[in-house]
Structure 1
Amino acid sequence: MFCLELSIPPLPKLLTVNKVTFWRNDVHPERVFPLYDIIIVRHGVFYITEEDTPYELKENQMIILEPGKRHYGHQPCSTDTLLFYLHFQHKAPLQTLPIENIQWNAVMPLTTYHDLEVQEQKMYIPKSIELNVKQYEPILEEMITLREQSIMENMLPLQANLAQFLAMLQKTARSQSLARSEQVCNLITNYLYTTMEQPFRLEDMAQDLNFSINYLSKCLKKHTGLTPLHYLNHIRMEKAVALLSHTNLTLQEISMKVGIPDYNYFFRLFRKHAGIPPAKFRSEVYASKTT
């Protein structure tokens, strides 16, 4: 399976959504479209070619046609075919990549009130996939209703539904491709979150999860880009930022709370991740709340 890697924000913008029946012997016209075109077959069979790649879409199958690429029906429908379709606007994909190469668990940089711009993020949409259309039908029908009742009040929920729909596609793609190494990666990240406040030893984690240290480290590195200790330090600093911002715990108490009894080590680690010492971070948070 391949996914389109799209940069966000901004999120894709929906232009239209609807359903249509292609009767037997109907064929999709040839065109070069400036928008993304999602086609989902509810029942029947649909033939479409993008550039030089032909697709035969059967019931419960979907494809995303990309902007600027020529597409056309290379064969008439052999039976009456009901489709859902969505047109949305967004920048061209950054790349198309095998789903097994996506680091779903990669950590994002810590964000603080110092940040003035949103960091670039990414979303992954399957190029072509088999899905249970019945699970998608409610949101598709709601989007169609909102679009047909074209009033200002409906536009925000309509765009929000598109984001939810794309998130569902991403989740479906990931669930269908969950490799053994990613399952182990999820075990590791869950383990690190639940044991964050405890002293960390690779040997203990290996024993608790019943895998070798090398295998655990390899799985986590493949899907997050980080070693177990680096991943643990990241989530500990996330917790420290939240505690500094929303509690009156002392710095030493926060250090203990995130599983680092050595305050000097906590101090160095926090400054490395957040860019400033923890005391200065807290004072600036409080100052920003009073201005």
Structure 2
Amino acid sequence: MDHIIFKIPPLPVLITCGEGVFKTGEKHIKREYSVFDLLYVIKGELFLTEGGKPYRIREGEYIILIPGLEHYGHQGCHEDTHYFWLHFQEKSYELADQGGENWTGLKLEKGTFETPPLYSLRLPRKGKVDQKTFIEKQFRSLIDDTAENTDLPLRKQLLFEELLIHLQKEAFRIPSANERVASEAQRYIDRHYKEKLSMDRLAQALHYNQDYITRCMQKAVGLTPGQYANKARILEAKRLLSVTNDKMSSIAEQVGIDDPTYFSKLFKQMEGISPIEYRKMMKRNIE
């Protein structure tokens, strides 16, 4: 029973999430949840037993623990192990030996004018992630509670759904041409967004036409290269605003934006508050 099957709609619902560290020699306590517990290892490795079966979860791997099954660390960590955890709920699910092979195999019933189509989501209970950068950014956004937007819980549910769908894609291990190009572009942008990034440089580095890269990213991740770069810039800006006293012009420059006015406008557009308001809010939270 190595896979979990959810019939959708509805999609599972996010409850809460966070980040933790097990120091060298520490191990997971013994407990049992009534909801799903997803653990993703950022660095290091975890040794967990669930339902009497031992698992070793290495860097870049995840495990989904089943409701009602006792789990515990059967061995201490060999090194400091950093991980994300996430609890979610869905009462209707099945366990199976096999997952799906492609998207077409996941459609169970056609929809009508009054009923939606029915699909299955078939996730490995333990899996390895190829696009670590995307997954870890998604988790970072999920645990970010600093924005004061009233729609934050809904945003987080949407981010969680994106995460599940991405894990399903990873399980297939058969990325389309669009996804392969998008993945290359994401990796390049993640390394260079603090520089003078341009579509010309991106196209030269990847050896693809600019328009083709943009189409691939829009189809695969729903963002243009510029939008993806701005998302990375604002995420880093939020970190700098929280941990430094640098001026806005300096922070804008550090994340690859020359114009401080444009930086402030972009930040407010994406976060709903200005960089200055964000910094004040963070200081209040610390105090």
Fold-level similarity (TM above 0.5): yes
Partner of 1:207 in structure 2? none
Partner of 2:208 in structure 1? none
| Structure possessing the higher radius of gyration over alpha carbons | 1
Counterpart CA distance in 2 for 1:39 and 1:139 is 14
Q: Tell whether the 8 Å contact from 1:5 to 1:97 is kept in structure 2 after alignment.
A: no
Normalising by structure 1, we get a TM-score of 0.55
Partner of 1:139 in structure 2? 138
Partner of 1:39 in structure 2? 39
CA separation of 1:148/1:15 partners in 2, compared to 1, >3 Å: closer, same or farther? Answer: farther
Q: Deviations over 1:101-146 (max 9, x none)?
A: 6564245544332x2x44543111121111132231111111111x
Alpha-carbon shift at residue 95 of structure 1 (Å): 2.6
Q: Tell whether the 8 Å contact from 1:6 to 1:91 is kept in structure 2 after alignment.
A: no
CA separation of 1:72/1:153 partners in 2, compared to 1, >3 Å: closer, same or farther? Answer: same
Normalising by structure 2, we get a TM-score of 0.55
Specify every segment of 5 or more residues in structure 2 that has no aligned partner in the other structure, as ranges: 177-287
CA separation of 1:164/1:177 partners in 2, compared to 1, >3 Å: closer, same or farther? Answer: closer
Partner of 1:67 in structure 2? 67
* Higher RCO (CA-CA < 8 Å; seq separation 6+): 1
CA separation of 1:108/1:72 partners in 2, compared to 1, >3 Å: closer, same or farther? Answer: closer
**Secondary structure of the equivalent of 1:25?**
coil
Amino acid aligned to 1:172: E
Q: Deviations over 1:77-100 (max 9, x none)?
A: 11100001111011252232313x
**Secondary structure of the equivalent of 1:41?**
strand
**Secondary structure of the equivalent of 1:105?**
helix
Q: Tell whether the 8 Å contact from 2:109 to 2:119 is kept in structure 1 after alignment.
A: no
CA separation of 1:137/1:120 partners in 2, compared to 1, >3 Å: closer, same or farther? Answer: same
Specify every segment of 5 or more residues in structure 1 that has no aligned partner in the other structure, as ranges: 179-291
**Superposition CA RMSD, Å:** 2.4
CA separation of 1:77/1:9 partners in 2, compared to 1, >3 Å: closer, same or farther? Answer: same
Counterpart CA distance in 2 for 1:48 and 1:129 is 14
CA separation of 1:139/1:30 partners in 2, compared to 1, >3 Å: closer, same or farther? Answer: same
Alpha-carbon shift at residue 148 of structure 1 (Å): 5.4
Amino acid aligned to 1:156: L
**Secondary structure of the equivalent of 1:142?**
helix
Partner of 1:163 in structure 2? 161
Q: Tell whether the 8 Å contact from 2:2 to 2:95 is kept in structure 1 after alignment.
A: no
Q: Tell whether the 8 Å contact from 2:27 to 2:76 is kept in structure 1 after alignment.
A: yes
Counterpart CA distance in 2 for 1:51 and 1:162 is 26
Partner of 2:255 in structure 1? none
Amino acid aligned to 1:160: L
